[in-house]
Chains A and B, each alone.
Chain A
Amino acid sequence: MDKFEKLTGVAAPMPLVNIDTDMIIPKAFLKSIQRTGFGKNLFDEMRYNRDGSEIPDFVLNKPQYRNAEILVAGDNFGCGSSREHAPWAIADFGIKCVVSTSFADIFFSNCFKNGILPIVLPQEQVDLLMADAERGENARMTVDLEAQEITTSDGEVIKFNVDAFKKQCLLEGLDDIGQTLQKQAAVQSYEGKMAQERPWV
């Protein structure tokens, strides 16, 4: 997994609430058996007409946001399905950080597995970052995971919380499975105990 340490980039504003996983990556694009190549279909139905031409009004089609690396989004971002294709598409497009007032649970954990940092902030602070993002490509934000700080283009600093374990995994780009396998002894001992206590499982 790619490390996430510090990022300075353009933030795209998407104030719509309840942006669901079907919007992020429609099911027509879930048929690949690879993890890559989903970026071109990120937000497909909002981003393209049926003939494949771009919808100019959509935020990521506007010249100033085409290379956005941060997304500032409305409440309950990523609700709906468990498809990891959603964060795969976001990462493949080049977005590494999403800020919102809340995220759906499964989407939130999926982000961390793919080097994306989802940040939850109170409404006023999301509003402030949304306004900053509206200013376009001259307004570049900095997200510093180690310090747990976002710095707006005006130099205002916003602190954020992140789970310590998840932070470490992102900073070091750690592979979960490798870490868990180091605790194999604990799992085997649990399995031994359960074979006695709940043999029907």
Chain B
Amino acid sequence: MSPKTLYDKIWDAHVAHEAEDGTCLLYIDRHLVHEVTSPQAFEGLRLAGRTVHAPDKTIAVPDHNVPTTEGRNDPAQMTAESRIQVEALDKNAREFGVHYYPVSDVRQGIVHIVGPEQGWTLPGMTVVCGDSHTATHGAFGALAHGIGTSEVEHVLATQTLIQKKSLNMKVEITGKLNPGVTAKDITLAVIGETGTGGGTGYVIEYCGEAIRDLSMEGRMTVCNMAIEGGARAGLIAPDETTYAYVNGRPHAPKGAQWEAALNWWKTLFTDEGAHFDKVVTLRGEDIQPVVTWGTSPEDVLPITGVVPHPDDFKGGKIEAARRAIEYMGLTPGQKLTDIEIDTVFIGSCTNGRIEDLRAVAEVVKGKKIKDGLRAMIVPGSGLVRAQAEQEGLAEIFEQAGFEWRLAGCSMCLAMNPDQLSEGERCAATSNRNFEGRQGYKGRTHLVSPAMAAAAALTGKLTDIRNML
């Protein structure tokens, strides 16, 4: 038998039907659902008189719209439109009988944090959600990707997706990371290398010593942003770190089933000599703490760099860079560490997990954030919040001057009241620096949690290595 990649193996294990032209029906093991991209899909089912094929494999949680302030169960805290979407999810989840974590449930949070936390996401699974950051679950060696609302309806009705296989891409990070360099810097550095279209048509497998050394939280950060590089999904082969994270979670297999699952999971790796259509290799030692300067996640530079000049680029990117520099209110040649910020946002499905919050606490412990700065920490789930409080992190944050919020997507995409105002500049641990992403005419610099914490203390983009 010819050697297979990890992606080949998971794909082959989920083809329920293959047509002559290679179009497949891929079976979906877990379908995660949130309030923004699902109402039209449930309505479609209703209109066609269809039911949810596998409600037991379907998990719903509101996250995009929900306020993150105390007392949010008071509907007055949401706009009328947000309330309609959250209420629609509530109604649809109950009517179609899917698993559901309402706003009032301590387990509620960002769908991509709740899935792994509750043990819904397991190695070798196919996981989809009407959200591009579904790539996050690839950290478990699960084939996970975002889908549109029509596909959400298709999965609800049939538990399958009509798919053609993508190509295989390997991203290897060799060696060790230097102090101050994190999973976020890895994933941004890779996008800086490949561009936001570099992964289009591929499923990425991340490998190498620096990836192996990451915790599950770090691996989720890396895979989360595979989509920002254009890839359909990002994958990391499961190992002892994965099994240790999964073991004992509420929906993880137990007893004999655990043993059976483990036996299969241990076959989920890329065979020696398997073919990759594209390979990118970075040396872990070469990766520095990075920051984005522009309005695309590919606009990445080491924190020691300067704002580029549009003429540094080629083709269509010249105009895009000119537009980005103007939008961001920067000057070519300006040192990145001279850029002053108004806001710090720590959270999102990229960096809203416990390890991220610990990294922030380590930097800000016993210190105060810059006067006049707005700094917000939004845990990824109610359970992350509870754990941070138990570990004493929340106290450190509040003493330093951070707002300590309830769980949700919050200012990552600013669909709830957490938004930047016009011209405001933010150091954010989220995943997208697009124009208007965090608020109309708001300006976003993507960074790691430690770098965001450093920026909160100084009021400027800051090299975390100077604070270690």
Contact = CB atoms under 8 A, between A and B. Distances in A.
Nearest to A86: B148
Contacts of A144: none
A183 B25 contact: yes
A53 interface: no
A84 B21 contact: no
Nearest to B262: A200
A124 interface: no
Contacts of A180: 25, 154, 157-158, 160, 162
Interface stretch (B103-111, B181-189, B195-203, B213-221): B195-203
A200 B257 CA distance: 6
A15 B88 contact: no
A187 B16 CA distance: 6
Contact of A80 (B132, B317, B414): B132
Interface residues of A, number: 56
B316 A74 contact: yes
Contacts of B279: none
Give the interface size class of chain B.
35 or more
A110 B413 CA distance: 21
Contacts of B339: none
Interface string B19-42: 101010101010000001101100
A82 B150 contact: no
Interface in B185-239: 195-197, 200-201, 227, 230-232
A30 B36 contact: yes
Interface in B226-267: 227, 230-232, 253, 257-258, 260-261, 264
Interface string A75-97: 11001111110010000000000
Contacts of B81: 31-32
Given A81-B131, A110-B148, A110-B150, A33 B85 contact: yes
A104 interface: yes
A35 B39 CA distance: 9
Contact of B16 (A35, A109, A114, A186): A186
27 contacts: A17-B316, A17-B319, A18-B298, A20-B296, A23-B435, A31-B85, A76-B196, A76-B200, A81-B146, A82-B132, A82-B148, A84-B40, A104-B197, A105-B201, A105-B232, A113-B148, A113-B150, A163-B23, A163-B164, A165-B19, A165-B21, A176-B154, A177-B50, A190-B17, A199-B260, A201-B29, A201-B125
Interface of B: 16-17, 19, 21, 23, 25, 27, 29, 36-37, 39-40, 43, 48, 50, 57, 65, 79, 81-82, 84-85, 88, 122, 124-125, 130-132, 134, 145-151, 153-154, 157-160, 162, 164, 166, 195-197, 200-201, 227, 230-232, 253, 257-258, 260-261, 264, 296, 298, 315-317, 319-320, 323, 413-415, 422, 432, 434-437, 440
5 closest residue pairs by CB, A with B? A31-B81, A200-B253, A113-B150, A82-B146, A17-B316
Interface of A: 15-18, 20, 22-23, 26-28, 30-35, 45, 50, 74-76, 79-84, 87, 102-106, 109-110, 113-114, 163-165, 176-177, 180-181, 183-184, 186-187, 189-191, 194, 198-201
